[in-house]
Structure 1
Amino acid sequence: MYLSHFGLTEPPFKLTSHPDFFYDGAQRGATLEALLYAVTSGEGIVKVVGEVGSGKTMLCQMLIDRLPGSVDLVYLSNPAISPDDILFAIADELKLPWDTTRPIQAMKNLQACLIDKYSANRQVVVLVDEAHAMPPESLERVRLLSNLENGHHKLLQMVLFGQPELEQNLALPGMRQLRERIVHHFQLAPLARKDVADYLQFRMRAAGYKGPDNFASAAIRLIAKESEGLTRRINILADKALLAAFADGGFQVTVRHARQAIRDSGFRAVILPWGRIVWIGGSLTLGVSLGLGLQAGSSVMPASGSAPVQLTSPVEAVATTSPVPKTAVAPHTLDVPLQAATDWILNTPPDFFTIQLMSMVNSSSDQLRSTLMHLSRQLDLRQLYVLQATLQGRPSYVVYYGAYANRADALQAMMALPDSVRVGRPVLRTLGGVRRDG
């Protein structure tokens, strides 16, 4: 909307990672160079830690772009999956045959493939995004994979990108062996106030701006304070502030514009409708379908091959005195044990795939209902399923989408998800893996 007003060729503060907008100040450039050296030297596991929105995804994208052509890359966007599923995902990326019932054979096939690639002077690098979400068993699989070597050379280079919770997970007593195999550690710190000023102008120039610096010092101070130096927040605030300046017909972003952006963003009070998205390590204890009375006449597909269950509206459900069917959820309560999602888990073939959309840790029924209302406007309710979980006695939920006969179909479905859903970093799961976790 404001591009021509400011003489821009593209949005300067878009959230998607683009190499032209990589800011190499505040040690970002030096970190990238060191990371490239650490990865290509192949000495062991590399770890990159930073707060939410600190620029880990951008750094990861830059690493991908800068890796030499002799590297075969495996990118795991969400590792909140079982150890075997991580193994199968790597094997799949390397075009290796695998069978969900034979993980040992898959490991042998992978090792043989890695030896062949090493003989051909090729290196395999696995980038694990959101590594803080890995369950302990999957972290242990990372350690075992890092042990694969040929003489004195590692056959598989692992890079873990994660939030500070990754440090806490690695500090657990059972993680000592993995900690000792991490040979390079990188920390992405938030931007200092002076770096925020440089960052804002760098992004403006990268987007084609040719005028004088247009963010007032007082506005920069407010943006730096409210964003806490996190680049994602800076981008959001700066974009809104530019829009406010455009609405005023001005070219300089003032304190008033920054305050408008801050009021519109509300970072201090932000609560995602589905809670914090992390791995649930507890047991899956209760199956529920997503028929929560999101709208009158909506239907739920309880299991592959089963008929949809027609649901009444919340008002109708509360008013009725008739018992709730076993395959339906009373819209006014989440305490009714349901068979629908349980049947889906138990009766769908174990080699089928599903998409794990998110995990909702310590979430209330109201938060779940809000999440489902959000999803119902974008996805087919007949393909949505929820499993309730317990984590240290806290109610939590895992949301799945669909069942697919092969990985290719599942991957295609995942890539077709709306951007607002994909931002939660969904991940492919096998039904067998879901069962094992339960």
Structure 2
Amino acid sequence: MSVLYLDHFGLSTDPFRITPDTGLFFTGGQRGDILEGLIVASMHDEGIVSVVGEIGMGKTMLSRMLLERLRPLPSDTVYLANPVFDRDEILGAIARDLMPEPPQGNRSHMLAALESVLIERYSQGRRVVVVIDEAHSMPATTLEEIRLLSNLETTQNKLLKIVLFGQPELDELLAAPQLRQVKDRISHRFELQPLNAQEASAYLMFRLHKAGWKGGELFDAAALRLLVQASEGRTRKLNMLADKSMLAAYAEGVPQVGIDQVHRAVGDSLPTSRRAALFPANAGDPSASLWRRFAPAGLGVLVALGAGYLLGSGGGMDRRERVAVTQPVTLPVVPEPASMPAANPSPSSPSPLPLAPVAQAAPGPVLAVAPTPPGAPAAGPASPVPAPVPPSPAATRAPIAEPALVAKLKDNALAVRMQVTDEFIARPSTRGFTVQLLSQRAPRDAEVLAMANEVQAALNGAAQPAVPVLVHNRLYQRQLFHALYAGHFETRADALEFIQSAPGAIRRYNPVVRSLDAIRKEPVP
């Protein structure tokens, strides 16, 4: 998940990371009630328990919460996260967690040793609970072995409690005739339901407050409705869409997430068929709303608007994150918020996805209306194929040439680059935009200098007109970071055009456009 927007919204941590974190467990949507039921069933009831839910409903989070809540109780737990075992392997997997030295030998020896350990734990007043995630992926023979394990008992009580977490396919698997005895042992079945609109709103606010949010409703009513509809009430998808929507709001410099930002997040995340169901006939489509908003009245012009975001997640010791790359749009410049550290490239990460091309006119007839000069002959019959449209002036945009600045930066030590950069940024006449490539925790002088030289060489090889590569130190949450910038541009659209045509050495950083005015206001050491 991206955390570039933390400062923008006054947050201390990422509110919508999808990695299960028990500190962010939401008890609404009956999750808390199900957890209490699982604890009671694990410690007191007989038989096997199943928990069923669709993909992204929070089953893994619930299983981790169950393990955490059982830890202080008189219980021993075994957790199997990927139970694609055969019948002998699952015996070994359980034995390894319960015995310091698992027994060797055939299945009978292992089963006898396991039963001996279970009887010992029972005599100590402890319950042994086996929690199996992704149980729908288990082979039928392994599920039958689970039933046989549940038969281990004293004269009065079962020795082993088994809790199965799985997708609805688990129910289908248990409905098979050969597994009817396993199904008959299911003493309790819980089902995770999607969050409704009220529960989803409470979930979002719960996560935001956990992350340090101090304000009111961050998502307006229309945005919230679309989030619930697009996520289908699934917590994982809700996390992803909320994160991307907040990143879109950060990129646009707006204080609240509205319908436009959620549109962009949905367009980036969902398959075409799902988007078509949410936006029938382009109703509410972001590009359509932008057309109505910005097309000049009375002029028939051909406008190509690209408003996509490449949003993703990353990680690492320096919180390497991917950032939004807004594709070229002809819009008024929005004042930029204070910056957060931008993405660092990871040498081990896969090559970045290619940037989407600049949006072009859709195929088919295009209406282009222009006033007819006096005395000009009347237009002939309309051609079924539109005439080629001359290239937009944006296609020839270039960075502001800074040959003197590039000369000062050439082959110089990092300290010199930083001094030249500081002078350039402080210059009163320096206006416009640059492209930020990374913000990396200092001190990493040699590494940052090598990156700057690599980028400069790539720009020189691409015959860019004297594009400077700048290195700037700044403070973020009282910690020193190196920032790396490329180029000087008059408008945001110029900078976006540069990103689109930049060589791979630039695009692998997942660059983001920055206002020089905003950079000038950032705290420096």
Is TM-score (shorter-chain normalized) higher than 0.5? yes
* Residue aligning to 1:174: 178
Q: CA deviation at 1:43?
A: 1.3
SS class of match (1:185): strand
Q: Residue in 2 aligned with 1:60?
A: 63
Distance in 2, matches of 1:97 and 1:177, equals 32
Task: Say which SS state the counterpart of residue 220 (structure 1) adopts.
Answer: helix
Counterpart AA for 1:51: E
Alpha carbons 1:87, 1:106 under 8 Å: kept = yes
Q: Which has the higher mean CA deviation after the structures are superposed, 95-104 or 3-12?
A: 95-104
Give how far 1:29 is off.
0.9
Describe the shift of the 1:184–1:217 C-alpha distance in structure 2 as closer, same or farther (beyond 3 A). Answer: same
Structure 1 position 49 matched with structure 2 position 40: no
Distance 1:377 1:3, change over 3 A: closer
The aligned counterpart of 2:11 is: 8
Amino acid at match of 1:113: V
The question of 1:106 aligning with 2:110 is answered yes
Decide whether aligned partners of structure 1 residues 137 and 377 sit closer, same or farther in structure 2, where only a CA change above 3 A counts. farther
Q: Equivalent of 1:223, from 183, 204, 227?
A: 227
Contact 1:44–1:158, Cα closer than 8 Å, also in 2: yes
Matched, 1:203 2:214: no
- Asked whether the 8 Å contact 1:45–1:146 carries over to 2, the reply is yes
Q: Indicate which of 12, 22, 25 corresponds to 1:22.
A: 25
Matched, 1:150 2:154: yes
What displacement does 1:28 show? 1.0
Q: Deviations over 1:308-343 (max 9, x none)?
A: xxxxxxxxxxxxxxxxxxxxxxxxxxxxxxxxxxxx
Question: Per-residue displacement from partner, 1:269-319 (whole Å, max 9, x unpaired)?
Answer: 69xxxxxxxxxxxxxxxxxxxxxxxxxxxxxxxxxxxxxxxxxxxxxxxxx
- TM-score for the superposition, normalised by structure 2: 0.51
Q: Structure 2: how far apart are the matches of 1:96 and 1:169?
A: 34
Change (3 A) 1:100 1:260: farther
Paired residue for 2:250, among 246, 252, 264? 246
Q: Tell me how far apart the structure 2 counterparts of residues 23 and 197 of structure 1 sit (CA, whole Å).
A: 12
**Percent identity between the two aligned chains:** 48
Give the deviation of 1:160 after TM superposition: 0.2
Query: Quick check: 2:219–2:257 contact (8 Å CA) kept in 1?
Result: yes
2:191 partner SS: strand
Render the CA deviation track for 1:64-89: whole Å, top value 9, x for unaligned: 11113321110001111101100000
Provide the secondary structure at the position in 1 that maps to 2:129. strand
* 8 Å contact kept, 1:55–1:231: yes
* Deviation at residue 101 of structure 1 after TM alignment: 4.6
Distance change >3 Å, CA 257–CA 377, structure 1 → 2 = closer
Question: What SS is found at the alignment partner of 1:214?
Answer: coil
**TM superposition shift of 1:122:** 1.1
Q: Counterparts of 1:330-349 in structure 2 under 5 Å?
A: none
Q: Check 1:268–1:41 CA distance in 2 against 1; reply closer, same or farther (3 A cut).
A: farther
2-structure distance, mates of 1:165, 1:246: 40
Deviation, structure 1 residue 97 = 3.7
Alpha-carbon distance, 1:268 to partner:
5.8
Partners of 1:246 and 1:124 in 2: CA distance: 48
The alpha carbon displacement at 1:239 in A equals: 0.2
Question: Which of 243, 258, 261 is equivalent to 2:262?
Answer: 258
How far, CA to CA, are the matches of 1:153 and 1:124 in structure 2?
12
For residues 41 and 152 of structure 1, the distance between their equivalents in structure 2, rounded to whole angstroms, comes to: 12
- Structure that is richer in strand per residue: 1
CA apart distance, 1:42:
3.8
**Mapping for residues 243-392 of structure 1, pairs under 5 Å:** 243-267=247-271
CA displacement at 1:19 relative to structure 2:
1.9
1:86-118 CA distance string (max 9 Å, x none): 000001111254456512100000000000110
Of 34, 55, 59, the residue aligned with 1:31 is: 34
Query: What letter corresponds to residue 8 of structure 1 in structure 2?
Result: L
Counterpart residue identity of residue 269, structure 2: S
Q: CA deviation at 1:267?
A: 4.6
Contact 1:88–1:100 at 8 Å: present in 2 too?
no
The 8 Å contact of residues 48 and 186 in structure 2, kept in 1 or not, is answered as: yes
In structure 1, the residue matched to 2:90 is: 86
- For 2:107 and 2:11, the matched residues in 1 are separated by 52
Q: 1:268 to 1:113 in 2, by over 3 A?
A: farther
Provide the residue aligned with 1:131 in structure 2: 135
Give the corresponding residue for 1:236: 240
CA distance in 1, matches of 2:244, 2:174: 38
CA–CA distance in structure 1, aligned partners of residues 273 and 16 of structure 2: 22
Bigger Rg over Cα: 2
Q: Give the partner amino acid of 2:19.
A: T
Equivalent residue pairs, number:
273
Contact 1:240 1:261 in 2 (8 A): yes
Counterpart residue number, 2:392:
none
Report the equivalent of 2:484: none
Q: Aligned pair in 2 of structure 1 residues 195, 268: CA closer, same or farther (>3 Å)?
A: farther
